[in-house]
Structures are given as C-alpha cells and as structure tokens.
Amino acid sequence: MSNSVPLLCFWSLWCCFAAGSPTPFGPEGQLADELHKPKAIQTEVKPSVRFNLRTSKDPEHEGCYLSLGHSQPLEDCGFNMTAKTFFIIHGWTMSGIFENWLHKLVSALHTREKDANVVVVDWLPLAHQLYTDAVNNTRVVGHSIARMLDWLQEKDDFSLGNVHLIGYSLGAHVAGYAGNFVKGTVGRITGLDPAGPMFEGADIHKRLSPDDADFVDVLHTYTRSFGLSIGIQMPVGHIDIYPNGGDFQPGCGLNDVLGSMAYGTITEVVKCEHERAVHLFVDSLVNQDKPSFAFQCTDSNRFKKGICLSCRKNRCNSIGYNAKKMRNKRNSKMYLKTRAGMPFRVYHYQMKIHVFSYKNMGEIEPTFYVTLYGTNADSQTLPLEIVERIEQNATNTFLVYTEEDLGDLLKIQLTWEGASQSWYNLWKELRSYLSQPHNPGRELNIRRIRVKSGETQRKLTFCAEDPENTSISPGRELWFRKCRDGWRMKNETSPTVELP
C-alpha cells in the first residue's frame, strides 16, 4: 500500500465528519434499522460476522468456524466448555485483511493459556468501509457476539465469567456493545486503544464503559495527533492506563512529525503508536517474569513530576493481561513509562531534591542530569525533566526511569550541564542570565537526595559525599552516597511493600 493512501483515508474520514454520512451519524443507527426491517429482508442482509476458533499458534492454520445453533463444530474443534474463552475483536480496516498483530496475539494467548478457547471475531466485510459506516456497524457486530455468548450459555459447564473479550481500536467498542447486550455479565473486557472519533464524550451506552463487564481495563497509546485523537482520551474502564502519557510512544518517532511526513513514513508512525497497545498486551502474556507496573495519578503532568509512585490503597497495578481486578467507585487513571520494544518494562524512581541558595538568585532553570549506580548495573546519564520550574529553598520532585534493573542503589552523581547542548538550553541560559545580570555566579546547594523505587516501594536517602561541599553550579557535579534506608519523615511509618 502506498504511503499516500492512509493520508487520503484520514482526509476522507475528516470529510465524512464535516459532510455527514449516508447512515445515521452515530453508532446506534444501523442496529435499529436491522431490527425493524421486514423478516424476509432481514434474512437476506445478515451481518457478515464469523467466529473462528483458533486451534493452533500457526497463523496459516485456518481453525474452525463456529455457527450459532450448531453444536457439532464445538465438538469437532474441541471447544473446552470449562476453560477460559477469549474473543479477539479487530477494528476498522483499510486493507480488508487481518493484520500481523492479530496472529501474534493469538499465539501469545495459546502460549499463556494452553487449554483456553481463542476465538477470532471476523467482521472484516463490515469493518472494511468508510469509517463512519464501520462505526455504525459496531452495534450489529456486538449484537452478534452477544447472541453467540447467549447460545453458549445454554451449554453445560460454560460460564460467562470465564469469557474475556479483547477489542482493538473500533473492536473495543464492539466488545462494549457485546457486554451490554449479552444476558448476564461478561468476566472481563480489555480495550486496546479504543477508537476516539465518534466515541469521545459519547453516552456510556454508545461506547465501551465499566458497566459492560465485571472488569474493564483499557490501554491508551495514541490519544493526540494533529488535533485528532485516533484513540479515545477519556477514561472508559475501571482502570485506564496511559503508557508514556498515552501519546508519544518511544520508538515510534511521532515526536518528529514533520520529518515523518517529509520522508513519507507518517503511516508507519501512526500505526506504531495506535498498535502499541496490542504489543503491550502481548508482552504481558509472554514476559511474565518482566511485568510492567502502572501508578494511579490524576494527570500526566503530575506523573512526570514523579509525584505518583505509591502502591498504597491499590494505587498501582500490573498492566495488560496481568492487571488485578479493581472495581472502584471512581475510575482509576494510571500511568507508566516503557521501553521502545519488548520487554517493555522499565524501573521507575521518584527523586526528592531539596534545592536551596544562600543568594537571592531569582528565577533559574538549571539543566540537571543524574547517573545511578547500583549493585547490578549503572544507569545511563538521565535527564531530570523539569515540568514547570525549579523551586528554590523547597523540595522538588522528579521522575527518572531506567531500562535495566540496577539492583540496590549505592550512589548518585548529579550534574549541572554547563555548555548548552541545544538552542532551547541556550535560550534558558540567556533568559536566566538576563533575569539576574548583576549576579552571573549561579550556585545552588543540595545536601541530600531521597529516592523511592516504584517497583519495590523501597525508600532510600543519599547524602552529599562531602558534607562541607554541597554547592553545584553549571559544568560541575555532586556525588551522593546512600546514608540510610527510608526517609525518616514525620507521620510516615508504613513499611516497604513489594508489588505482587
């Protein structure tokens, strides 16, 4: 497929929004039309939805097709009534064929749950349409899945609680409709970057919502781009997890949008961002020994500040297949950082640094870097991202993360970058100098750094290696060594907690 085709599709999608659609605008129109057609017509235009029971990891193996009301294929294909049953639901398609992610997900489920039933919901004829028409078909497909589940419930030993619907993009809302229409309550629905256009801000009965299953967990990986959110931004589950803030995924290159458009690679970038949710879920299935953890936070900015690394009162959870069931009264928005590829796990650290100055220096924007030294390995030089500004004579909190397990931390090197490495840093240096032109000698003091590991919840304090020399200025560094376990703060007596 040429690179221009998807861009034209995005343009046609926008035109559809602007000019309207030949079908009622919204995902509720088509089902009503189907149900109110004369019976003779209904039999002629049955929705093109097939249920393919995959009995092998091999993508070339066709598997068996289940048919509503026919029990023989269940026996012939070895459908296990007492086992878990997964329904994989794809989304809107421009190609009309299954994409590679689906085969990877099927294989990962078979690897993790060897006795499980893995069913692929094939609604390609209804998904290979203009986006607005595909949206209107989601109710029809959801209704077909619900009818299949109602029929299976008539069989001995089949339990709706063992059913896990996994929907990608538009398929996540199909799963929501299925959970809404079925007689009973589905055990779990996982939404993998649910589609945003025509669902953002919609009523709970017209999109995926927490009411659709006993447990609804959602991964958001592509919630902003060019003013259009491909994935839904709003929380729609019991827990909604936003890896890397839910927008720029490492390794996808969306931070260089103009370059991607110039080189004709924007299609791959968009696909990478949106599809990352699927690969995070696959990772959780096949890399059980390297689980990724997310942390509850009110918004992405607070998480970037390193404020939200607590596991108290269910404030942290595994992501993907390993997520623990949570049914809070309020939705839980959770965040984490990831690597660019599998295994995606990283190690989060909260750093509390009390910065003070003996001089009135006014506003200052230092560029700090840290290097962490542990019993297993040493980190790369890591930037301390300043989300707002450095507060003087106050404790500043930062988030850093490493791709390797460093083991027990032993010491920290803190560096204040000297010569500017970018135009942005040059501008910061100039602005800082202009604010205090008569005080060119910029100097801050830091006596200790407090660190908390997100993954182990362990707290450590690091003291300046030379207590008589705690000052740092551009181009200089300070060393801190571990001086005690814990922080020894007032009103903080809870023990350290290991994540499950």
Is CATH 2.60.60.20 correct for 347-420+442-482? yes
| Alpha helix segments (H runs only) across 154-295 | 170-181, 257-262, 266-286
Nearest Cα residue to 294 out of 230, 229, 338, 261: 338
φ, ψ at 478 (rounded to 5°): -130, 145
φ, ψ at 69 (rounded to 5°): 90, -5
Residue 114 in this model has a pLDDT that exceeds 70 = yes
**Does residue 488 or residue 1 have the better pLDDT?**
488
Residue 30 in this model has a pLDDT that exceeds 80 = no
Distance (Å, rounded) from C-alpha 348 to C-alpha 304?
11
Instruction: Provide the residue type at 233 as one letter.
Output: Q
pLDDT mean over 330-347: 95
Superfamily of domain 50-336: Alpha/Beta hydrolase fold, catalytic domain (3.40.50.1820)
Residues 6+ apart with CB under 8 A from 108: 282, 285, 286
Which pLDDT score is estimated for 222?
94
DSSP conformation class of 321: G
Distance (Å, rounded) from C-alpha 100 to C-alpha 122?
14
Distance (Å, rounded) from C-alpha 370 to C-alpha 351?
10
Domain extent listing, the chain: 50-336, 347-420+442-482
Using DSSP's 3-state secondary structure scheme, residue 496 falls into: coil
**Dihedral sign computed on CA atoms, order 340, 343, 349, 350:** positive
Q: How far is CA 91 from CA 15, 168, 201, in A?
A: 20, 6, 19
pLDDT digits (tens, 9 = 90+) for 117-171: 999 999 999 999 999 999 999 999 999 999 999 999 999 999 999 999 999 999 9
Distance (Å, rounded) from C-alpha 66 to C-alpha 53?
7
Q: Are strands 50-54 and 117-122 parallel, antiparallel or unpaired?
A: antiparallel
**Does residue 111 or residue 39 have the better pLDDT?**
111
Are 300 and 211 a contacting pair, CB within 8 Å? no
Which pLDDT score is estimated for 170?
98
Are 207 and 199 a contacting pair, CB within 8 Å? yes
Distance (Å, rounded) from C-alpha 38 to C-alpha 42?
6
Distance (Å, rounded) from C-alpha 283 to C-alpha 183?
32
Are 52 and 73 a contacting pair, CB within 8 Å? no
Which pLDDT score is estimated for 46?
45
Q: What is the pTM of this model?
A: 0.85
Which pLDDT score is estimated for 436?
52
207 is in an annotated binding site: yes
Residues in the chain: 500
pLDDT digits (tens, 9 = 90+) for 236-278: 999 999 999 998 999 997 554 444 444 445 678 888 999 999 9
Q: How far is CA 380 from CA 14, 324, 369, 402, in A?
A: 43, 32, 10, 8
Distance (Å, rounded) from C-alpha 412 to C-alpha 478?
8
Catalytic sites, residue numbers: 169, 193, 274
Q: Are 50-336 and 347-420+442-482 in the same CATH fold?
A: no
Adjacent-strand bridge partners of 448: 463
Residue 336 in this model has a pLDDT that exceeds 90 = yes
pLDDT mean over 301-307: 94
Average pLDDT over the chain, rounded to an integer: 85
In this structure, what token pair is assigned to residue 219?
């991964």
247 is in an annotated binding site: no
Q: How far is CA 22 from the centre of its chain?
A: 34
Nearest Cα residue to 85 out of 173, 169, 231, 186: 186
